[in-house]
Amino acid sequence: MNIFKQITANNIALEEYPFRKELAMEAYLIENESILKLDSDNFSDPSIIEAELALNEGRSSGNGRIDILAQYDPSTYAIVELKLEEINNSTLSQLENYLKQRNQLLKHLPVDSDNDAQMNLNWVGILVGKTISKELVDKLMKGLELEMDGRKIPIAGITINRYRSQSSTEIYVVTDTYFKFTGANKDYTKYRFNGNEYNKGQLVNAIIKAYVSQNPQITFSQLEKIFPKSIQGSQGCFKIKADAEEVYNRTGWKRHRLNPEELISLSDSIIATSTQWNSNNITEFIKSARKIGYTVL
């Protein structure tokens, strides 16, 4: 990939405006976590949990510190390593050392403390920098995975470059993602509903949205009788938007779909559907959907 010192966007002359410190890059990613979206299916809903977390023996020479810990779904988490300049094989080795110590991060994750829940977690490693070496690009585009403890951890690379207008204070950011995922470890089952394909959380959102569209006068309590809280578990299939936002603001964990296009308006409230789905509770949800006449394949 070529990097130019000056580019033009919509006839606006731009000049490079690089991040001067890794902390500035980190802050930008925290405010714009969607940059960590790796694809449109399995790693499409990133949420940053913590930053600047210490790891004992995180480096070959001693202790280390991960830049960002992120979540994609209830059982998939990411360690993100940032570099101001090039990401390359050396950066990859550093990320590998951090991933080897990933169990130290369990106390920061919104997962049950039992061994089964922790053993079933999936991880992805992400390298972010201004440029990327050709050798690393070649590895990533072949589907780079690191094998650890009998599991394969996919690796992604992201380049991020900042520019500013020469005639105003407008800032532009350009990113490129290098990622090829084989889906080796996890249940990435897709479901078909109304001619579209969805993952678990997307399916729940689509079905509830369809039902509300057909029953526009339905209230929160009435909808909860159709899709009882017990289907999902302790969190319920959906929450009132304000309550879902309170959970996110308090914990930093994205347990509900809060994007504007995913919110659902009832006659008495606005709701956000849960993101906390696995192979067991999604089966119960689909059973409820079929009871009211929906076909899910």
Q: How confident is the model over 148-186, as pLDDT tens digits?
A: 988 899 999 999 999 988 877 888 899 999 999 877 556
3-state SS assignment for residue 240: strand
3-state SS assignment for residue 172: strand
Longest dimension (CA), the chain: 63
- pLDDT classification of 73: cutoffs 50, 70, 90: confident
The larger pLDDT score, comparing residue 47 to residue 117, is at 47
Pairing of strands 151-165, 145-148: antiparallel
Go through the domains of the chain in sequence order and give each one's CATH number. Answer: 6-178 (3.40.1350.10), 191-291 (no CATH)
List, for residues 189-213, the tens digit of each pLDDT value.
789 999 999 989 999 999 999 999 9
- pLDDT classification of 60: cutoffs 50, 70, 90: low
CB environment 11-44: b (16+ within 10 A), e (fewer): eeebeeeebeeeeebbeebeeebeebebeeebbe
Name every residue whose Cβ is closer than 8 Å to that of residue 58 and which is 6 or more positions away in sequence. Answer: 64, 65, 66, 97, 98, 101
3-state SS assignment for residue 181: coil
Q: What is the pLDDT of residue 234?
A: 79
Q: What is the pLDDT of residue 166?
A: 81
Q: What is the pLDDT of residue 23?
A: 95
